[in-house]
Structure 1
Amino acid sequence: MFKTTEIAKDVYIHTRSTDQFKTINFSIKFRRPLQVEEAAERTVLTNVLQHSNAKYPSPASMRMHLDDLYGTVLYLDTTKKGNEHTVLLNVETVNDHYLQHGDVLDHVLELMNTVLFDPNFVNGEFKENIVAREKEMVRERIQSIFDEKSRYAQNRLNHFLAPDHPASISANGTIPAVEAITPQSLTNTYQRMIAEDVIDIYVVGDIDEEKMIADLKTALPFQDRKAPFQQNELPKIQPTESYVHEKQEMKQGKLHIGFTVPVFFTDADFPKMQIFNGIFGGYPHSKLFMNVREKESMAYYCSSSYSAQYGLVYVMSGIDTENVKKATQLIDEQLEAMSRGEITDLELSQTKAMLQNQLKEALDSARGQIEIYDQYKELDPVFKVEHWQEKWKAVTKEDIVDMAKQLHKETVYFLSGMEEKK
């Protein structure tokens, strides 16, 4: 799917030449171990790099230049995968092939160099007023989770389900960690990222791959990683509570349940767990949706998700406070039914079709192709849709029963309003 070229030790360019799109998409991923303090530093760093550099020192001047480049989109962000923290630089620009007179790509590569290698320093450090401004933006982003009750409930569930574990560490860090950042500490974080992070550079578009690799080596002069991080094993999930009920000023209750399962992304049973989750609560035809929400009207919504990096299955539902016991019982009953083999041919076939359609839809966009390959390349370096379709087709009802039996309910978290109905 992609051609991979190592241009320096642990610095890789992944190219895909295709006439499927009229744009060229870049994604640069900087990876290192996930830590709370560094997560906060790196998130603030993405804001600083996106909004200010030596050549375009203000957000307005940066936006104007992007507009001049035919509306090129450039943004930075952070995310996490397993016990890794990733800084992303994503760029989408018009392909010069479709311009009468164009050298936009050269200017975009020059801008990428500016953003990454020419920061807006004073006396060798980031400017204090810019750091302060972007710290406040990140602090507000982290604080916003308290206003979105579903996200807040999920955050609290992870706090009790997997304390001090990568599963419960935010890619944005914490407010105290953000507040502790200084221009000097942020400069040190930037220098470590440029010099030490493992780097994957993705390019998708109608390109000459050899020329693109040569141009990227010039525009992004990364050196060998001298001491790349070692991938540490994930710690064991060790819940501190089995049931937690908290209250806030709100109307709709949030019931979130965390299960452990000994099946991870790199395991042979991963495709089976994907099918299991789809039948359990991943889709509108799932047991949780059809029985808890539709048939019994116990929830405004009810679904499940499978976090394969951590071996966790989550159930999320919005309910009236007086229905918490009944809703919890109904959720348990759906898992028990699957453990007994109560799975229809229709549920199995619909789930397989949904997974296949989701994969095809993701591959309809350049960004989707990058993300799919970045996710699956460690399992299948020559990733093909047909290969994964065959894996899903091979999953049987007996496989799903086996997966269901391996789930273990660890923590139930319920967030309700202050006034409970009698």
Structure 2
Amino acid sequence: MKAGYENLNINQKQNDLHIKVLPTTKFKTTTITLKFMAPLDSKTMTARSILSKLLVRATQQWPTDKAFNRHLSELYGAYVNSFVSKFKDKHVITITLELVNERYLSDQTPLFEKGLNLLKEIVWNPLISNQSFDNNFVAQEKALLTKKLEAMVDNKSQISFLNLLKLMFNEQPYRHLASGQVEYIADITPETLYDTYQSMLLNDYCAVYVVGNVEEQKVKSQIKSYFDIKPFQFKLSHATPVPQRDKVPQEIVETDEVDQAKLNMGFKLPVQFGDRQYFASVVFNTMFGGDPSSVLFNEVREKQSLAYSIHSQIDAKNGFMFVLSGVSTDKYEVAKDTIIAEFEKFQRGQFNEEKLELAKKVIVSQRQESYDRPKRMIEILNNNILLENDLSESDYIKHIQNVTKAEIIDLTKHIELNTIYVLTKGGND
């Protein structure tokens, strides 16, 4: 699936082999991460979730849990894990290996190369025979995922957030957890998982990241020799659409056996990752509900005692903000009106510069703390896939620090409250 280099734009970014190396002397370990990205699709997410766990359990060379774990311990206690996530309009399988940097070993073990060998085995030689994954492992991972997803039904906070997404996005795959849906698990077999695996190898966009005390060019050439990573275009579709409705915001109240009402709100943000309004949205979210210093935390929870818990979070890559709260079942109407009133104060510019500057300091501090963790550094690096030109760390901080009060006011005037979802006690509808 090789692509040409002509006619490139922000939605078709050609980046040759996407191998990014971040040399640093901060850590005694080296972290190697592979990210396999496919279009977000309700039908494939569950199988990809199970596949991600199978790949890091056993391989042809180490065909049992015991053999696989013994090999990790032989690599000075190396650690391998995998997870799935949503990234813009993609479903991502992330496989990460952390191992001691060989510079800090007393002997001359070529640990980095052994780590690459292990990753190569995980990706290209999983435990497959006759185009089928191991029956026992598949059964175990299906049972584990079923248990995990079913447990969410009992978690009223999680289920109410998923209900908000369902109402806001209808049939869009964005509404689902990256780990999938219970109803798809039964139909997954060792044979269908082989097809899922082949699709990952043939069709996914693969990005590789390395963080540690390493030589950049040497590592890049090693990875190229170990992995058959093809250069091809990372295509972005348009942002996840929110269905048009006659009445916005739509408000839905449902009842269940709950100790406290769950009051959740979904907003549409007019932002695109990396543009000026994107940075304004990051600052606004921190001021509004994204930090203990925020308005929602102080006004709704502390001063008025309307909420046991409340915060806002943004998915600015897709242009959404969510306010999630737990409130007294007899106070959710007051809490809802208060949240909306606090939001409208921002639209009128009723906030001071001190709050704005404090939010910027919080963001910059959290960003700098991210560089104490290799995995967070890799997630930050991966965001650059969405941009025509990579965003440097100093530029990110500069953009945050340059956000003005006028930009926050302008942004909030264009934010739309789309959906209000309440889960409360029966009889309180």
TM-score (norm 2): 0.91
Partner SS, residue 216 of structure 1: helix
Native 8 Å contact 2:267 2:320 kept in 1: yes
Once the 2 structures are TM-superposed, how far is the Cα of residue 317 of structure 1 from its aligned partner?
Answer: 0.8
Once the 2 structures are TM-superposed, how far is the Cα of residue 24 of structure 1 from its aligned partner?
Answer: 0.5
How far apart, CA to CA, are the structure 1 residues paired with 2:374 and 2:64? 29
Alignment of 1:23-172 (within 5 A): 23-101=29-107, 102-172=109-179
Partner SS, residue 136 of structure 2: helix
Once the 2 structures are TM-superposed, how far is the Cα of residue 382 of structure 1 from its aligned partner?
Answer: 4.2
Partner SS, residue 282 of structure 2: helix
Partner SS, residue 331 of structure 2: helix
Match of 1:372 among 362, 371, 380: 380
TM-score (norm 1): 0.92
Once the 2 structures are TM-superposed, how far is the Cα of residue 149 of structure 1 from its aligned partner?
Answer: 1.7
Match of 2:196 among 176, 185, 189: 189
Native 8 Å contact 2:18 2:231 kept in 1: no
* Structure 2 counterpart of 1:20: 26
How far apart, CA to CA, are the structure 1 residues paired with 2:240 and 2:326? 31
Partner SS, residue 172 of structure 1: coil
- In terms of mean alpha carbon deviation, does 69-78 or 210-219 score higher? 210-219
Alignment of 1:179-328 (within 5 A): 179-223=186-230, 230-238=235-243, 242-328=250-336
How far apart, CA to CA, are the structure 2 residues paired with 1:150 and 1:84? 25
Alignment of 1:342-421 (within 5 A): 342-379=350-387, 381-418=389-426
How far apart, CA to CA, are the structure 2 residues paired with 1:111 and 1:302? 44
Partner SS, residue 322 of structure 1: coil
How far apart, CA to CA, are the structure 2 residues paired with 1:235 and 1:12? 25
Partner SS, residue 269 of structure 1: helix
Once the 2 structures are TM-superposed, how far is the Cα of residue 239 of structure 1 from its aligned partner?
Answer: 6.5
State the number of aligned residues.
412
* Structure 2 counterpart of 1:5: none
CA separation of 1:155/1:10 partners in 2, compared to 1, >3 Å: closer, same or farther?
A: farther
How far apart, CA to CA, are the structure 2 residues paired with 1:179 and 1:390? 50
Letter in 1 for 2:193: L
How far apart, CA to CA, are the structure 1 residues paired with 2:290 and 2:231? 42
Partner SS, residue 346 of structure 1: helix
- In terms of mean alpha carbon deviation, does 166-175 or 274-283 score higher? 166-175
- In terms of mean alpha carbon deviation, does 205-214 or 112-121 score higher? 205-214
Native 8 Å contact 1:167 1:310 kept in 2: no
CA separation of 1:267/1:178 partners in 2, compared to 1, >3 Å: closer, same or farther?
A: farther
Instruction: Note the alpha carbon deviations across 1:216-260, whole angstroms, 9 max, x for none.
Output: 2232233565xx674322352017781222222221221101111
Once the 2 structures are TM-superposed, how far is the Cα of residue 67 of structure 1 from its aligned partner?
Answer: 1.7
Once the 2 structures are TM-superposed, how far is the Cα of residue 407 of structure 1 from its aligned partner?
Answer: 1.8
Native 8 Å contact 1:36 1:170 kept in 2: no
How far apart, CA to CA, are the structure 1 residues paired with 2:151 and 2:392? 39
* Structure 2 counterpart of 1:3: none
CA separation of 1:278/1:129 partners in 2, compared to 1, >3 Å: closer, same or farther?
A: same
How far apart, CA to CA, are the structure 1 residues paired with 2:216 and 2:275? 33
- In terms of mean alpha carbon deviation, does 215-224 or 343-352 score higher? 215-224
- In terms of mean alpha carbon deviation, does 138-147 or 289-298 score higher? 138-147
How far apart, CA to CA, are the structure 1 residues paired with 2:130 and 2:15? 31
State the identity as a percent.
28
How far apart, CA to CA, are the structure 1 residues paired with 2:401 and 2:28? 34
How far apart, CA to CA, are the structure 2 residues paired with 1:33 and 1:259? 24
Once the 2 structures are TM-superposed, how far is the Cα of residue 114 of structure 1 from its aligned partner?
Answer: 1.2
